[in-house]
Amino acid sequence: MLKEIERDSGKLRKYLDERSQEISGDVLVAAMDIINDVKKRGDTALKELTEKFDKVSLEDLRVSEEEIDEAISHCDAFFMESMQKAKENIVFFHQAQLSQSILLQKEMGIYLGQRVLPLDAVGIYVPGGRAQYPSSVLMNAIPAKCAGVKRIVMVTPPNKNGLVHPNIAFAARLAGVDEIYKVGGAQAIAAIAYGTETISPVDKIVGPGNIYVAAAKKLVYGKVDIDMIAGPSEILVIADDGSDPSFVAADLLSQAEHDPMASPILLATSQALIDAVNKELGRQSALLPKRQIVEASLRGYGKSILCESIDEAINFANSIAPEHLELMVEDPMRYLNQVKNAGSVFLGYYTCESIGDYFGGTNHVLPTSGTARFSSALGVDAFVKRSCYLYYTKEALEAYGDYIVSMATQEELQGHANAVLARLGK
């Protein structure tokens, strides 16, 4: 059941923010100890930590092409076809994000420009354990590939047999991952940030993980770039009277099954719809394999709000800045320009959030915890850097040099002024 609450976006955002607890000092200390151990002892530390945490003894950290071939031979054929079609959609969308370098001529003798350059190397963390998310491999690796990154490295914990999950191996090959290493946890983050005898360091680390992975990413930030420290999942559905209650309930549950702290929120213009959705939630949740997780999410963070209009609901949603926003309304394109803060928007009665998670082509790595107010979905821009350049002829510097000298002198940086004066012969 969704708890009905008053129309106060500030209180709801504060309540939701309580889910995102700060990483404790103990976890940060433990992660830092692991990072320092890997920095000091390299591959030896990685193997010992893998044996300690994953109960697996490894001779080689790198996954060979033969091992990948063997793993892929166990994949379901229709799953592989599905992934191939998803890849085509993801490539189609992300290639359109590519930015162009620019060259501007302000006047004769003066040129300004910007070069868009791909990062040299990117590391992707892929969780292990009982869960396996090959779709996340596509979502993290394909934008990097589209950006032109030459070296994409994947780290993932080995299973109990010391192997990589077949679906993960297939996703990595399909997405163009260049290197795969069987190492997880904070030690994997340390390895790709600082390098070991076997693993060369990268420039940026992306991908989700447990609290120790999150702590390690936070600690290595500055040595490398990272994508984000993600919080619990959230979905906000805006539904009008034409919405099918079973659709609304199914979409709310699709996020509730992620985590007991996931937040499924419904903004509706009809009390009758809210009541019908609650009835459907009870029926559908009882049938889900992750029923306990779903019910904990609904009980703790499932909310419903009765709004006077779709416009009011969208204003409310902008204040919340949800990770996933569904406009389950008639003529949703009419309202799209009103949406200012959302990680990703799903339009209409038939565009469930699951399409975006797996197949549609838009990225499913999204800002959480209200950070959609200022941050974006993962995309090609995350894997490029921009370098500016200038060109002045002697005549151009003679025309404007005195202005530069004046500004440098006012800031008491005579060396800057002298660099101009030397060229002007003054």
Q: Which of 280, 324, 326, 353 is catalytic?
A: 324
CA pair distance 306, 52, nearest whole angstrom: 51
Q: What does the radius of gyration of the chain's CA atoms come to, in whole angstroms? A: 25
CA pair distance 150, 140, nearest whole angstrom: 14
Q: Are strands 110-118 and 102-107 parallel, antiparallel or unpaired?
A: antiparallel
Q: Which of 61, 185, 49, 198 is nearest to 128 (CA)?
A: 185
Q: How far apart are the first and last CA of the chain?
A: 79
Q: Which of 323, 326, 353, 364 is catalytic?
A: 323
Beta-carbon neighbour count of residue 26 at 10 Å? 9
Phi, psi (degrees; rounded to nearest 5) at 344: -150, 145
| Residue 398 annotated in active site | no
CA pair distance 172, 114, nearest whole angstrom: 32
Task: Give the ranges where 195-290 is alpha helix by DSSP (H).
Answer: 211-220, 245-256, 271-285
CA pair distance 347, 356, nearest whole angstrom: 11
| Residue 324 annotated in active site | yes
What is the chain's percent helix, strand, coil content, to nearest 5?
50, 15, 35
- Cite the active site residues: 323-324
